[in-house]
């Protein structure tokens, strides 16, 4: 039984959550051309959603309309987004905005199935099209400039970590590495500016 990663308490108290509307609205951030991350994400979306459907069927899980909409919303942007931004992106349904708990439940499911990751450093979520196992070490390279996130598996790093954890007899639940900085494209832009 997988336990929920989200206590309902902390997140439901709307006041503490930052409403960062600028970041929710993706494709038009500033100077025209979408960055590489935006193009990659847009290219992945269709196939990734179809694969999520197929995997759910195979596992006898239901990709309900809300779960699917949340996943689609995450593929609508190359930036990690918070639950409240997802609510904004989805907009009202039958005249009512989605309750945060509805979004968190959908996210819980999507994380459990390996379709989405939570970035602890941002309290935000990002779609994962890679279909790797839950125990694989993934490194997130988070660009502070364009907001893009590259997810990379690093086998040598993974091996070193597995050895270290075995020596400690520590059982990892979420082996995730989050590195913030400037992506290759953005750092090149800075140097040439």
Shortest spacing between CB 135 and Zn ion, in angstroms: 12
User: How far is the C-alpha of 142 from the C-alpha of 161, rounded, in Å?
Assistant: 21
Q: Quick one: which segment of 58-66, 94-102, 118-126, 185-193 binds Zn ion (CB under 5 A)? A: 185-193
Residues 41-70 that bind Zn ion (CB under 5 A): none
Render the burial of 165-186: b for 16+ CB within 10 Å, e for the rest: eeeeeeeeeebbebeeebbeeb
Q: Quick one: which segment of 39-47, 61-69, 129-137, 154-162 binds Zn ion (CB under 5 A)? A: 129-137
Quote the Cα angle for 159-109-6, to 5°. 85
Q: Does 128 bind Zn ion (CB under 5 A)?
A: yes
Instruction: List the x/- string, 135-154, binding to Zn ion by CB under 5 A.
Output: --------x-xx-x------
Q: Quick one: which segment of 14-22, 45-53, 118-126, 184-192 binds Zn ion (CB under 5 A)? A: 184-192
Q: Does 82 bind Zn ion (CB under 5 A)?
A: no
Q: Does 87 bind Zn ion (CB under 5 A)?
A: no
Q: Closest CB to Zn ion among 87 and 111?
A: 111
# of chain residues touching Zn ion (CB under 5 A) = 10
Q: What residue ranges bind Zn ion (CB under 5 A)? A: 35, 37, 128, 130, 143, 145-146, 148, 183, 186
């Amino acid at each position: 039984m997988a336990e929920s990663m989200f206590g309902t308490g902390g997140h439901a108290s709307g006041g503490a959550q930052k409403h960062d509307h600028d970041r929710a609205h993706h494709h038009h951030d500033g100077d025209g051309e979408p960055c590489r991350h935006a193009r990659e994400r847009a290219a992945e979306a269709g196939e990734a959603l179809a694969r999520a459907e197929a995997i759910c069927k195979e596992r006898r899980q239901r990709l309900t309309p809300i779960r699917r909409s949340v996943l689609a919303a995450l593929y609508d942007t190359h930036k990690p987004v918070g639950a409240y931004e997802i609510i904004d992106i989805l907009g009202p349904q039958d005249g009512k905005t989605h309750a945060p708990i509805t979004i968190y439940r959908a996210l819980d499911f999507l994380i459990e199935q390996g379709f989405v990751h939570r970035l602890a450093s941002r309290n935000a979520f990002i779609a994962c099209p890679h279909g790797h196992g839950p125990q694989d070490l993934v490194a997130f390279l988070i660009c502070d400039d364009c907001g893009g996130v590259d997810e990379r598996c690093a086998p040598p790093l993974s091996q070193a970590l597995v050895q270290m954890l075995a020596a400690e007899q520590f059982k990892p639940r979420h082996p995730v590495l989050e590195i913030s900085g400037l992506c290759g494209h953005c750092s090149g832009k800075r140097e040439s500016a």
